Chain A
């Protein structure tokens, strides 16, 4: 392989990461849409589309490692490639969550929704904006924007807490099992969105680290821990 400029190669990989970001964004957006519109075909598409994201992740990882092995990048370049590698993982997780949401949509199927979906699409919108802005901040090295993304995580968490209370209320009411199960599915979907927002925050924090070399203080990161203990319902 002819030796191209390291910068040029990093730029190319960055473009691919952005491409992957766009795929993940689209997957999230469409999964929520399928949940809202009860569009099974769309949900199925999202589930099938995850494979492409995984492939792209593997390809980018491979290229990054090759770059490190062959060109021995130094200092900032190395940090950049490292953060690319981690960002790719974040994006892959997001796409996975999107798939999970689509699976929830498939599980609910066409049974009437227990409540009109308003908060979940709103959460999705906020999370998607965070993903987009975190990638923007990543590409431009924009610390201010990255900090904004970190702050934006809070309202998402708050919304998740509210949803949690509401949906748990549905389950507590008992009665119709089907309704309770649907509430659980929706709860999961909300949880996934909350996690997606967290991954966007990770990306943003890494931007701050790469540019300033400073780790984000921890309280900024986990200021408001939403309702339930973290990690319990999310293992998928």
Chain B
């Protein structure tokens, strides 16, 4: 802090200035007064004494040449008179402690107390002497050229003794001891004439009456010394006063500034996360009213700041949490293209750890030019949508939505923040809003410029695959339907073209057409079954189903074909097995489809077997029935095993169509088993045959009313009709 700007310095400086000015003024006036009165008194004394001396000197002067009685006084006497006068003057001078000079009207020094008058120059030019010669009392303060000290001179004229008879007797008495020249007619000065009020010489012919001048002088050094003493005293007092004022100023300043300093320190210490100072702000000792008000204002401001900060931090954290846990990948970059935000989903989709991505240019972190291009486009101001394919071990399809981040958003945030503030501030809200309405926070030209971009990444791999599956499905269905339709169409055309005429041919053609039509019916039936199974809103009545019965019913249906291929059909289903929980018609259909499949692919005289048992080690808790349908067919290549449950998937396209399948059988099986909560899987060894393993849940009797539970199961009202 600069010294000149501290409160202490200012108070002290102004105090001192005022004090100094006062002291100087007082001392100047005082010195004047002291000097005036001192000189006045000194002059008065000197006048009195001078009057006395002049009375003593008069007889001598009257006897001098040039005087009125000069003719009568011989020069010889004069010389002795002069010597006597000299002695007189010296004596007097010792008495009154002043230098005495007696000057003749022509300026010659007649007698002098301190020096030899013979060596002295003419004193006519001395101011006081001139004044006195003019008949008045003269006084000056000046450097004595003879003694070279400052002296006060008072000179009085010595008049001829014409005027004052009273003075005669007085002077006679005075002059008694040294009135060698007689005292008759000695001039005297009336006491009045020595008063300062009446200094002017009376009478017109003053010059003539003046016999000489008696001048008294004392050095004024004593005055100066007194004044100097006084000045020293004043200076000492001034210093003490200034020191005292400094102390007082310091105390006052400290009283003012200490709380201010403390306040400043506390306020400086306040920062996000460090609000401890707020308590001490409230607990500061009482101080000046104004400072208390300031402190309270600071406290409430800090409180409000803390509140709004907390609110905005909470909002920010919430937002971050929301973005972080979004299932879409979110990547935001700033205006220089550096990554600002990279959430978990983005991390998973792009395979880049968030810590590595944050703060780096997008292309550096995510080495993919398509995403980078989309984001660059967004940064230049236009949103865009791209679909990108990620290669590598697990190919993915991502849909990238990139959009610019504009300043507008921040304005929106500002408004939101302002609203929040307003809510916090309560009554100040109105005025705050008024204030902000007047001055827009974001100026118009910065508003539209993008400050970065945000890209949202959707994983559409599954979606694209499903779309692929759907379009494949439609393609397959059309293909499957077209083949028999084309055949039927050809047969009908041939019939119309004349084959009709030959009953034998016509019969053959019609039976062929019937076979094709059957296939179409079967296909459409299967498709409908599938569709029903897939639409989850149809309820399927579940109840206890005996696997043994279901299998034997299925076998009955397929008996003809088994016999046709001279297959050996083995059944190993213990009679004491519990029922499974399911729909009797659907369970039967599962076995029909699986057996049909097995029969179809097994060479003549092969073996098809069906076994069932309680699953010894279920993967899922609960009781499960394990059913195996095995054949001795050619088997299924390992690679194709996962796909055989797909619709229209054929391991060997040509052969299986010949055998009249729709390509949907296993798909239906899978769907049915899924609806029952079970599983189905295929195991196969090329050349040795295939085995389909079913796991179905065992029926657990409900505690009450099992009879009623069984009721609706048998009628198959909600079930699906088995094919054929």
B-binding residues in A (CB < 8 A):
11, 15, 18-23, 25-26, 29-30, 33, 125, 132, 135, 139
Contact = CB atoms under 8 A, between A and B. Distances in A.
Contacts of A21: 367
B391 A18 contact: no
Nearest to A135: B367
Given A22-B368, A22-B369, A23-B369, A15 B363 contact: yes
Given A15-B363, A18-B361, 7 more contacts: A15-B361, A18-B363, A21-B367, A22-B367, A22-B368, A25-B367, A135-B367
A224 B369 CA distance: 34
13 contacts: A15-B363, A15-B372, A18-B363, A18-B367, A18-B369, A18-B372, A19-B363, A22-B370, A22-B372, A23-B369, A29-B391, A33-B391, A125-B393
Interface in B631-684: none
A99 B368 CA distance: 19
A132 B373 CA distance: 19
B685 interface: no
B337 interface: yes
Contacts, number: 37
Interface residues of B, number: 13
Contacts of B363: 15, 18-19, 22
Contact of A18 (B364, B370, B393): B364
A84 B278 CA distance: 57
Chain A interface mostly: helix
Nearest to A30: B391
Tell me which of B364, B369, B391, B393 has the highest count of chain A C-beta atoms within 10 A of its own C-beta.
B369
Interface of B: 337, 361, 363-364, 367-370, 372-373, 391-393
Contacts of A29: 391-392
A11 B337 CA distance: 11
Contact of B372 (A19, A26, A135, A139): A19
A139 B391 contact: no
Nearest to A21: B367
A139 B365 CA distance: 10
Contacts of A22: 363, 367-370, 372
Closest 4 CB pairs of A and B: A22-B369, A29-B391, A18-B363, A19-B369
Tell me which of A11, A21, A26 has the highest count of chain B C-beta atoms within 10 A of its own C-beta.
A26
B465 to A, nearest CB: 15
Contacts of B337: 15
A125 B392 CA distance: 8
A223 to B, nearest CB: 28
Contacts of B373: 19
Tell me which of B337, B364, B372, B393 has the highest count of chain A C-beta atoms within 10 A of its own C-beta.
B364
A23 B363 CA distance: 11
B505 to A, nearest CB: 41
A21 B370 CA distance: 12
Given A19-B373, A135-B367, A26 B391 contact: yes
A19 B368 CA distance: 7
